Amino acid sequence: MTEPSRRAFLATGAVIATGFAGCLGSSDQEDDPPENDTETDTDENETPPNEELEVREPLEPPEGGAVVFVYDDGPMEDYTQALPAHQAFDAPATVGIVSSWVGRDDYQNNGCMDVTHLEELVDAGWEIASHTIEHTPVGTLALVEDAEPSDERVYPKEIRHGYNRGKTVELTDGTQSIRRVVTDYGSDGVGRYIELDEPLGEACAAGDTVVRYPEEAIEEMFRGSKRELEAMGFEISTFLAPYDNFDDYSREFAPEYYDGIANADHGSRINDREEFDPFRTKRDYFIEFTDSDSVKADLDEIADRGALGILGAHTFKEEVSEERIGETLGWIDERGIEVLTLREAIELYANA
């Protein structure tokens, strides 16, 4: 599947006609072959005369800035609410798809999109990005409480790794490494915790010790989801990190499989034009967890500086409606800001 071209600055450059500058017009050329009909050897790679050559002009980021919309998880609302809003402005988006959730009917309110829905998004100019196989964190989370050798319960900053019971996690401070299987998660008088199948056997200091998935598991999260989505027929070159959990640990592995990350550094929407790094991208939400004035201020800055904004949303959330998405697209349109997919933005800004 190929995405249709929608923008002049992404289109192929000028077409140059090449040929002989001779004096024979077409009416002067003989129809019969010359008497000496011996075949002339030609280089297979040589361009035949009179054939048009396409010359691609250098790509430049739009002067008035650009934004990328990145939607999480692949719920049906991406198709029923986000797609119509974007079509009204002829604007694309990127969707982060959890490969094992494609066609899932018990997710949130209305289930997840199936392959047919995703194909329609691609036909509308959207991009499919990987969001792991099972929506698992690819980064690290530090302990916020010291753990003793006899403890089977640890207290990380967030308990995202605990959501996947039966998976092996690694606790490490850079010198020692302990692997245990997650059995449960919850909260008690101390805080939120992850329950492990065996005592740690070693003391783990808060702040110094992190919880993460082992290297081989992280490799499979990056490689496996890409492979599964490509088997469905989609071109996959970018990645959306679940829970906005991406750091130097995950950055070690991602470049082997992807050209860039949608949300490597959560907390800001604005990426500098001159310093853009596709593996240190900034993304933040544009409806949930924010307000209209903040979004408008960021859009003003994006337009003034020619910067790149990356905007995120979970469309299954009640506040993320077709109307609110359309309202934001209207603000973008008023400011003359271009809307790109993440793949297009990386092509433009990473090579600027």
pLDDT for residue 344 is more than 60? yes
What's the mean pLDDT in 34-61? Answer: 50
The predicted model gives 296-319 an average pLDDT of: 98
Per-residue pLDDT tens for 52-109? Answer: 545 555 578 999 999 999 999 999 999 999 999 999 999 999 999 999 999 999 999 9
Task: Give Cβ neighbours of residue 232 (< 8 Å, ≥ 6 apart).
Answer: 99, 102, 115, 118
For residue range 110-168, list pLDDT tens digits in order. 999 999 999 999 999 999 999 999 999 999 999 999 999 999 999 999 999 999 999 99
- Tokens standing for residue 217: 């598991």
The contacts of residue 48 (CB under 8 Å, 6+ apart) are: none
Per-residue confidence at 245, pLDDT binned at 50, 70, 90? very high
Q: Is 28 left (phi over 0), alpha (psi -120 to 50) or beta?
A: alpha
- Span 210-219, mean pLDDT? 98
What average pLDDT does this structure show over 309-316?
98
Whole-prediction pTM:
0.84
Tens-digit pLDDT profile for residues 164-189: 999 999 999 999 999 999 999 999 99
CATH code at 66-135+216-349: 3.20.20.370
Query: Taking 80 as the threshold, does the pLDDT of residue 9 lie above it?
Result: no
350 or 1: which leads in pLDDT: 350
Rg (CA), the chain: 26
The rounded mean pLDDT for the chain is 88
Backbone angles phi, psi at 62, to 5 degrees: -65, 140
Judge whether residue 301 has pLDDT over 70.
yes
Percent of the chain past pLDDT 90, that is, above it, reads 82
CB atoms within 10 A of CB 294: 13
